[in-house]
């Protein structure tokens, strides 16, 4: 598909708007929409603020000034996610767009949600609207990676997070050791706020007694899960079979779109194992070294480094599963 610089520019604005819903749109995706007149002026903008309230397109149309209303019939709507076609908590955006009579719609990516999945785009095309799909598609998918994974693979998006010494240990055999800094600690709380659930193994829960809540950042506390190989997490759990797929299925049923795994090493290994399941690794490396301790998990060959940040000597590496 041909992506003009102009299309990309307006789609970038949609992404910018979408991010304003980061703390409030969940479990709905972050979505931004822009309406551009024939001569290239933005006459309307909106984003999805809160689940249950107007979608991005509704807010964008509502922002158009009455004196610009006549421009709609020759304008283009840009939206980072396919307009919905179903009655959910709100009516279908595709119908609204058709009734407003815009000439063209540019969509960032298809909505994998089973009730939409291409039907929104089809409805627009059936009404004679020119539709372009896939402008900045990668960025649009990445913005809602948790929502996309949940709806595409029927399981939550899984992030494994650990902090290790420069020589590869997650603790010190001899004494308690603080590896995170006050700043990176704050980033951990931000990560917690971005996830629906947080999980640790029983050993970590008993030894470290982590609170697993959000104290150093804005946002809601995730659901807390302690996994114990001797106690079923749900009545249907079968410990004679690998536990992670069962856990994923159960979390999906609970509507958990994202899971943050905070350790310990054994728990991480079970997610990293051949039949395990993970999407992102977030590894913090402290400049400290220790004489010995619990070995940090190995970074698997299927991990691709996609980000590296350094804060006061602590390095945070982010990997994606490829």
Which residues have a catalytic role annotated? 57
Q: Does 196 participate in binding ligand AOF (rule CB under 6 A)?
A: no
Burial class, 70, CB count within 10 angstroms (exposed 0-12 / middle 13-18 / buried 19+):
exposed
**Residue 93: strand, helix, or coil:** helix
> Cα separation of 79 and 107, whole Å?
5
Of the pair 59, 164, the CB lying nearest ligand AOF is at 59
Q: Does 31 participate in binding ligand AOF (rule CB under 6 A)?
A: yes
Burial class, 5, CB count within 10 angstroms (exposed 0-12 / middle 13-18 / buried 19+):
exposed
Q: Does 50 participate in binding ligand AOF (rule CB under 6 A)?
A: no
By a kind-dependent CB cut-off of 5 to 8 A, residue 171 interacts, out of Zn ion, ligand AOF, none, with none
Q: Does 113 participate in binding ligand AOF (rule CB under 6 A)?
A: yes
What are the beta bridge partners of residue 47?
A: 32
By a kind-dependent CB cut-off of 5 to 8 A, residue 214 interacts, out of Zn ion, ligand AOF, none, with none
Of the pair 94, 225, the CB lying nearest ligand AOF is at 94
> Cα separation of 72 and 38, whole Å?
9
Contact residue for Zn ion among 93, 148, 227, 261 (CB under 5 A): 93
Q: Does 13 participate in binding ligand AOF (rule CB under 6 A)?
A: no
Nearest approach, Cβ of residue 84 and ligand AOF (Å): 4
Of the pair 109, 283, the CB lying nearest ligand AOF is at 109
By a kind-dependent CB cut-off of 5 to 8 A, residue 56 interacts, out of ligand AOF, Zn ion, none, with ligand AOF
Of the pair 47, 169, the CB lying nearest ligand AOF is at 47
Burial class, 23, CB count within 10 angstroms (exposed 0-12 / middle 13-18 / buried 19+):
middle
> What is the full DSSP assignment across 26-86?
TTSPP-EEEEE-TTS-EEEEEE--STTS--HHHHHHHTS-GGGGGGGGG-EEEEEEPPP-S
Distance from the first to the final alpha carbon of the chain: 24
Nearest approach, Cβ of residue 97 and Zn ion (Å): 9
- 208 in a labelled binding site: yes
Instruction: Name the helix (H) or strand (E) containing 188.
Output: helix 182-193
Contact residue for Zn ion among 11, 30, 84, 272 (CB under 5 A): 84
Decide if 110 contacts 120 (C-beta within 8 A). Answer: no
Q: Does 55 participate in binding ligand AOF (rule CB under 6 A)?
A: yes
Report the candidate in 63, 62, 118, 58 with the shortest Cα–Cα distance to residue 85. 118
Instruction: Name the helix (H) or strand (E) containing 260.
Output: strand 258-261
Interface positions, 25-64, toward Zn ion (CB under 5 A): 55
Interface positions, 116-155, toward ligand AOF (CB under 6 A): 116
Of the pair 89, 231, the CB lying nearest Zn ion is at 89
Residues that constitute the known binding site for substrate = 192, 212, 215, 262
List interacting residues with ligand AOF (CB under 6 A): 28-29, 31, 48, 55-57, 81, 83-84, 88-90, 93, 111, 113, 116
């Amino acid at each position: 598909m041909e992506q003009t610089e102009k299309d990309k520019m307006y789609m970038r604005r949609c992404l910018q708007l979408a991010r304003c819903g980061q703390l409030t749109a969940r479990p709905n995706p972050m979505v931004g929409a822009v309406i551009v007149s024939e001569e290239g002026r933005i006459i309307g903008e909106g984003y999805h603020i809160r689940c249950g309230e107007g979608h991005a397109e509704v807010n964008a149309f509502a922002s158009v000034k009455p004196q610009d209303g006549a421009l709609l019939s020759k304008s283009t709507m840009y939206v980072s996610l396919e307009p919905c076609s179903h009655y959910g908590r709100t009516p279908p955006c595709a119908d609204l767009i058709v009734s407003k009579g815009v000439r063209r719609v540019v969509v960032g990516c298809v909505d994998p949600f089973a009730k939409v999945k291409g039907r929104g785009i089809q409805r627009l095309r059936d009404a004679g609207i020119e539709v372009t799909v896939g402008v900045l598609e990668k960025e649009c998918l990445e913005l809602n990676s948790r929502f996309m994974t949940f709806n595409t693979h029927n399981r939550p998006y899984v992030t494994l997070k650990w902090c290790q010494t420069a020589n590869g240990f997650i603790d010190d055999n001899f004494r308690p050791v603080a590896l995170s800094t006050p700043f990176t600690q704050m980033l951990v709380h931000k990560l917690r706020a971005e996830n629906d659930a947080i999980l640790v193994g029983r050993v970590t829960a008993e030894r470290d007694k982590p609170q697993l809540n959000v104290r150093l950042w804005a946002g809601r506390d995730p659901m807390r899960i302690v996994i114990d190989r001797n106690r079923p997490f749900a009545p249907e759990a079968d410990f004679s079979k690998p536990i992670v797929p069962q856990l994923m299925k159960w979390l999906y049923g609970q509507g958990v779109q994202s899971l943050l795994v905070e350790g310990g090493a054994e728990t991480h290994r079970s997610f990293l194992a051949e039949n395990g399941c993970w999407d992102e690794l977030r590894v913090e490396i402290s400049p400290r070294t220790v004489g010995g301790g619990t070995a940090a998990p190995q970074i698997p060959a299927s991990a691709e480094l996609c980000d590296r940040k350094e804060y006061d000597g602590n390095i945070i590496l982010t990997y994606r599963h490829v």
